[in-house]
């Protein structure tokens, strides 16, 4: 195992390849430590959070997510304002990997991100994904805002995330997606409703079980059968 002191020298190199290597090496060292012992490495990696090279900054975000120590949240909060979307969506993903509810306000801010590729908003999609990974009840208010997003990929991730959060209050927000124009959104809505396992979802699964798309209807029927077994209804 490489020594932290030796590896960290690369953080100050003029060569971006050396800085990237230092991030990767420090990440590897951190993952061999208990979570509470990773603070020192998080502090070292912070040195490059404002690096002039965007690819260095997004690798900082990736490393902080993998290291998963909650002190990384403050660094990622600063990085959430980065000019590059490639950094911002990795910030969202990293916050989800850390899995701490203190990240929710940062993700709420990122839920307004306007970066667009074609018809899609990748940062907002990763925000929904991250909120599902955090899984705290407080995530629901942000996901509820994204239910009506114009991007079907975002709505798809919202459906999955609401299922992952799993609180009964998620059902009312999933109800808005049962008539979504995109079949895969409706299908994942059905899965999420059965995953939550609350009887309030039965009425919505009954509708999805008769969806005009055979594949959605099939998933809806399976989800309905499962929810009936779980609820005894």
pLDDT tens per residue, range 179-212: 999 999 999 999 999 999 999 999 999 999 999 9
Segments in the chain below pLDDT 70: 1-2
137, part of any domain: yes
pTM above 0.95, yes or no: no
For residues 72 and 121, state if they share a domain.
no
DSSP run (H or E) holding 14: none
Nearest to 35 by CA among 73, 71, 76, 79: 71
Dihedrals phi, psi of 117, to nearest 5 degrees: -120, 110
Q: What is the CATH number of the domain that holds 19?
A: 1.25.10.10
Single out the residue in 67, 98, 129 at which a domain terminates: 98
Closest C-alpha to 122, from 165, 88, 75, 79: 88
pLDDT of res. 233: 86
Is 103 within a domain? no
Domain that includes residue 57, residue range: 1-98
Are 26 and 141 in the same domain? no
DSSP letters for 82-101: -S-HHHHHHHHHHHHHHT-G
For residues 121 and 93, state if they share a domain: no
| 70 and 166 inside one domain | no
Give me the number of domains the chain comprises: 2
Helices first, then strands: H and E counts in the chain: 14, 0
Q: Residue 168 has what DSSP assignment?
A: T
pLDDT score recorded for residue 1: 53
- What tens digit of pLDDT does each residue of 16-43 get? 999 999 999 999 999 999 999 999 999 9
Q: Which residue's structure tokens are 């990237």?
A: 20
Residue 157 located in a structural domain = yes
Q: Which of 70, 98, 126 is the last residue of a domain?
A: 98
pLDDT at site 2? 66
Query: What is the C-alpha to C-alpha distance for residues 83 and 63, in angstroms, rounded to an integer?
Result: 19
Token pair 């390849």 is found at: 17
3-state helix, strand and coil shares in percent for the chain, rounded to the nearest 5: 75, 0, 25
Which positions ≥6 away from 89 have C-beta within 8 Å? 122, 123, 125, 126
- DSSP-assigned letters across all residues of 104-141: HHHHHHHTT----BTTB-HHHHHHHHHHHHH--GGGHH
The residue among 98, 133, 154 that closes a domain is: 98
77 to each of 27, 73, 80, 89, 140, how far by Cα in Å?
A: 19, 6, 5, 12, 20
Position 106 in a domain: no
User: Going by C-beta distance under 8 Å and a sequence separation of 6 or more, which residues neighbour residue 210?
Assistant: 217, 220
The pair of structure tokens assigned to 199 is 């009887």
Q: Of 21, 67, 59, 20, which is closest to residue 43 (Cα–Cα)? A: 67
């Amino acid at each position: 195992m490489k020594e932290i002191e030796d590896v960290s020298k690369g953080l100050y190199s003029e060569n971006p390849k050396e800085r990237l290597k230092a991030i990767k090496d420090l990440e590897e060292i951190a993952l061999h430590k208990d979570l509470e012992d990773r603070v020192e490495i998080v502090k070292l990696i912070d040195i490059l959070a404002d690096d002039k090279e965007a690819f260095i900054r997004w690798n900082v975000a990736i490393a902080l997510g993998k290291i998963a120590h909650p002190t990384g949240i403050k660094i990622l909060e600063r990085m959430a304002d980065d000019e590059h979307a490639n950094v911002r969506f990795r910030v969202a993903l990293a916050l989800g990997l850390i899995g701490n509810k203190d990240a929710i306000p940062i993700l709420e801010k990122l839920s307004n991100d306007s970066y667009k590729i074609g018809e899609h908003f990748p940062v907002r999609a990763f925000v929904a994904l991250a909120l599902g990974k955090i899984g705290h009840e407080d995530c629901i208010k942000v996901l509820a805002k994204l239910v009506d997003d114009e991007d079907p990929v975002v709505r798809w991730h919202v459906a999955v995330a609401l299922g992952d959060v799993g609180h009964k209050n998620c059902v009312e927000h999933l109800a808005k997606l049962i008539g979504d124009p995109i079949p895969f959104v409706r299908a994942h809505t059905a899965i999420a409703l059965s995953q939550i396992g609350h009887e309030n979802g039965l009425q919505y699964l009954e509708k999805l079980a008769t969806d005009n798309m055979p594949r959605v209807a099939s998933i809806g029927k399976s989800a309905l059968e499962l929810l009936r077994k779980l609820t005894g209804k």
